[in-house]
Homo-oligomer: A and B are copies of this chain.
């Protein structure tokens, strides 16, 4: 294992401290327990909080700021944050209009966020993301996994919350975006969890893992390596089978890198996916290409499609000012 680290035990604190220092104009870091908030507390809005295991950066801390999250709770690598982090974060950012948790569907995250929700002295609700169409249940999951589509949920709900919308409206929009979003990924290499020191799974130089999870969980099947168009065709077919879009539907297309795949290849995947979606009669009106939900040092990528409507498109386009997504401000 070759990584830029000092001691395995210090990775999280050192990396979070670096993030906080590099983006001190946007975020503040609390160390005991770990959570990030916006530097300037927002008032008169639902507090939007997310969190999850580290190793998926920029998810979630990179999405804190105007138009998106109020706080994020980073757990240890691939490990859920604990309820005390969530409670402390909620205490810090609650602004009188309730708290909305956005939680990726993994057993540990669901359990801990539920525990926090029960103990929270404020009105609260939870949006559970489950956009990964690869498998129904998985290593750490009952039901579908929440993956890169979570970024879209956080952006859209974060925008609505800035308008002063109430908790029920934010929850409803989050659930709607999740239900209109489908993702699937493919791995060319495993990731290596620092504390383990060796790859999570073995994969041959001639193989790929179709439908891989963002922790290296197994997908649908191990396959022989194929060309990009053939891989994209399978991912898009699985996504469209789930979304069942009507002809002429307007979509957002996200090509997400898992970390080690160069932008050059991600744009090649975009080219391939866009042609396929257009051939299916879909209109791609919004796009995002880059490393937005990663899996430590895995080589691989996922495709996410969201069916847009006027409301979702408007909240996607609205101003956002975070470390990893920024436009119109």
> Which residues of A are interface residues toward B (Cβ below 8 A)?
2-7, 11, 14-19, 21-23, 54-55, 57-58, 62, 188-189, 205, 208, 225, 227-229, 231, 253, 255, 259-272, 274, 284, 287-289, 291, 294, 296-297, 299, 301, 326-329
Contacts and interface: CB of A to CB of B under 8 A. Distances in A.
A260 B297 contact: yes
A255 B14 CA distance: 15
A291 B263 contact: yes
Contacts of A189: 2
A15 B189 CA distance: 21
Ranked 4 nearest A-B pairs via Cβ: A18-B271, A18-B267, A260-B260, A18-B270
A14 B57 contact: no
A200 B310 CA distance: 49
Contacts of A54: 264
A262 B23 contact: no
Contact of A261 (B22, B229, B266, B297): B297
Given A267-B19, A287-B23, A294-B263, A272 B2 contact: no
Given A11-B268, A269-B4, A291 B291 contact: yes
A327 B57 CA distance: 20
Contacts of A62: 263
Contact of A18 (B11, B55, B269, B327): B269
A301 B231 CA distance: 30
A192 to B, nearest CB: 10
Contacts of A205: 2
A203 B326 CA distance: 38
A58 B266 CA distance: 11
Given A18-B270, A328-B329, 14 more contacts: A2-B189, A2-B205, A2-B225, A4-B268, A4-B301, A5-B268, A14-B228, A14-B268, A22-B267, A55-B262, A260-B262, A261-B297, A262-B296, A262-B297
